[in-house]
Structures are given as C-alpha cells and as structure tokens.
Amino acid sequence: MYIVGGVIVLIVVAWLALGRSGSDEARLAKEQAAIEVAKAKVEASEAQQQAQKAQELADQMKQQAADIQNAPSATASPGQVNDLLARAAKCTINDCIAILFLAAQPRNPEAIQVATGRYAEFNTLKTGDRPTSRDLNTKGLAQLRAGNVNGAIDLFSRAVTADPNDSEVMGNYAYALIQAGRLDEAEKALNLALLINPRRTATWGALAEYFAKKPNSSEAAIRALQLGYEFSGNREKTLQFFTDNAVSSDRIEMRPIYVEAARRIRAYN
C-alpha cells in the first residue's frame, strides 16, 4: 500500500512538474514573440526614418541643382573664398552638399574639405550584416557586368537592406538604378551614399551621371566630377579617365560633361 501510494505521489509530482514546464515554455514562447514583434517595430521605424531622410535630402538636392546651374563660375575674390570657408565650417545636413558644389567652381579646396568633414558627422545610419551585404554586392556587380541591370538592382537592394551603412554598396545600388532610368530612386540612394561617405569618388561620378540625365543640370554634373577629382586617391588617373571618356563614353550625354570637367581641372595648375 505504501509502495503504491509512493508511486502515485511520484506520478502526481511528475505531472505537476510537466504542467509547470509546459506553462514555462508557453510563457517563454510568448515573451520571445513579444520581443520579435518589438524588434520588427524598431526595424520598421528605422527604415521609415531612413526613407524620410533620403527623401528630404533628395528634395534639397533638386533645389540645389537648380541654384548651381545658375551659379557663377568665374574666379572668386578673397572675400568670397573666406566667406564660403566660414559657411562650410558651420554647414548643416541641409546645406553642406550645396556648399560643396559652390566650392567646386571656382575651386575652394579648403571649403571642400571642411564641408566634407562636417557632412560626415551627420551620418546616424547603423551598420548591419556587412558580410552578407558584401556577398550580395559582389553578385550584383557580376550581374551588372553581364548586362543584367534588373538582376543587379535586386541584389544591391537586398545588400543595402542587410547593411544600410556601406557607402560602396549604396553607391552601386544608386548607379544601377541610374542605368535603369529609375532616377527618383537613384537620387535617394545617392544622397544616402554621400551621407555615409562624402569622400568616395565613385559616388560623385554616379551623381554626375544622374545629373546628366536630368534637364538643365549639366553644371551640377560637371561640378560633381570636379568633386570626385578632389577626393580621388590618384588624381592623375582620374583626370585621364575623364579625358578618355570625353570621346569614348557609351553614355553620349556624359561626353561634354567629361570634356568640361577635364578642362577645368587642368586649369587648376
């Protein structure tokens, strides 16, 4: 009788333990689901903020391009040089790019460097899964070289989602969008690429191609190339690239842009 009673007690204890275990598992599953939901909300909020920032920068660039098209390109007076340098030292996320374009012609290298340093401080994008992003980027470049622009865009889009804080990947995404004629989307990606790293020459080159496809924006395209030259690690090679593409670029609208940019750069010395 005592043995039977002992067995029953053990069974009851085990049953209660299983009940508690099942209850704990259900509670843990519920808590985990709540965490995942909260995480998804944060990610969605960050994505929305990123899209809003890109749109704001894109709207500013449109106005700046119109202003630049009519901006003077003659030699600046010492007073104008110093004034632009002072403005560069205090520029905000809303006007640093405009100051960079103004400093490109007439050339004001000090203002360019100061404004660039200021602009880089405004990047608040978070680094994501860089290995995955770079793997997708490599595959996207292969598709781009193979002439599959839409395939490249899909891969670059996934790459910037994996890591939105990589200027090379964001710049490649923008470039592919330009080749596909999706200029509004390219504009947002270009702005983010410059925000991440305003010293990347290739991004300024892509920006020049973007402006070359827009009406009445040739001056902005030329200045974008001038700024790309400023940040180049090999200026001689960059200038030769401009010179060669002035006659051989398969993008006809870019040829006069390369011609004028190269002419202005040669006049620096």
Same domain, 66 and 18: yes
Q: Is residue 157 part of a domain?
A: yes
Same domain, 77 and 64: no
Asked whether the beta carbons of 138 and 147 are under 8 A apart, the reply is no
Question: pLDDT: is 65 or 115 the higher one?
Answer: 115
Q: Is residue 212 part of a domain?
A: yes
123, 213, 216, 223 alpha-carbon torsion, rounded to 10°: 50
CATH number of 182's domain: 1.25.40.10
Q: Is residue 125 part of a domain?
A: no
Q: Is residue 105 part of a domain?
A: yes
Three-point CA angle 51, 173, 248, nearest 5°: 135
Asked whether the beta carbons of 67 and 219 are under 8 A apart, the reply is no
Q: Read off the pLDDT of residues 13-37 as tens digits, 9 standing for 90 and up.
A: 343 344 445 566 666 667 676 676 6
Q: Read off the pLDDT of residues 127-136 as tens digits, 9 standing for 90 and up.
A: 999 999 999 9
What are the structure tokens assigned to 205, written together? 């080159």
Q: Measure the CA–CA gap between 214 and 221, rounded to whole angstroms.
A: 9
The total number of structural domains that make up the chain: 4
Q: Is residue 193 part of a domain?
A: yes
Q: Is residue 126 part of a domain?
A: no
Q: Measure the CA–CA gap between 210 and 224, rounded to whole angstroms.
A: 10
The angle that helices 218-230 and 201-212 make with each other, rounded to 10 degrees, is 170
Q: Is residue 127 part of a domain?
A: no
Whole-prediction pTM: 0.75
The pLDDT score that the predictor gives to residue 269 is: 73
Same domain, 151 and 216: no
Question: pLDDT: is 67 or 84 the higher one?
Answer: 84
pLDDT of 44 above 50: yes
Q: Read off the pLDDT of residues 158-185 as tens digits, 9 standing for 90 and up.
A: 999 999 999 999 999 999 999 999 999 9
Average pLDDT rounded to a whole number, residues 2-18: 41
User: What is the enclosing helix (H) or strand (E) of 119?
Assistant: helix 109-120
Find out whether the peptide bond into 106 is cis, omega within 30 degrees of 0: yes
Q: Is residue 35 part of a domain?
A: yes
Q: Measure the CA–CA gap between 225 and 24, rounded to whole angstroms.
A: 62
Q: Domain of 149?
A: 133-197
**Count of positions (residues) in the chain:** 269
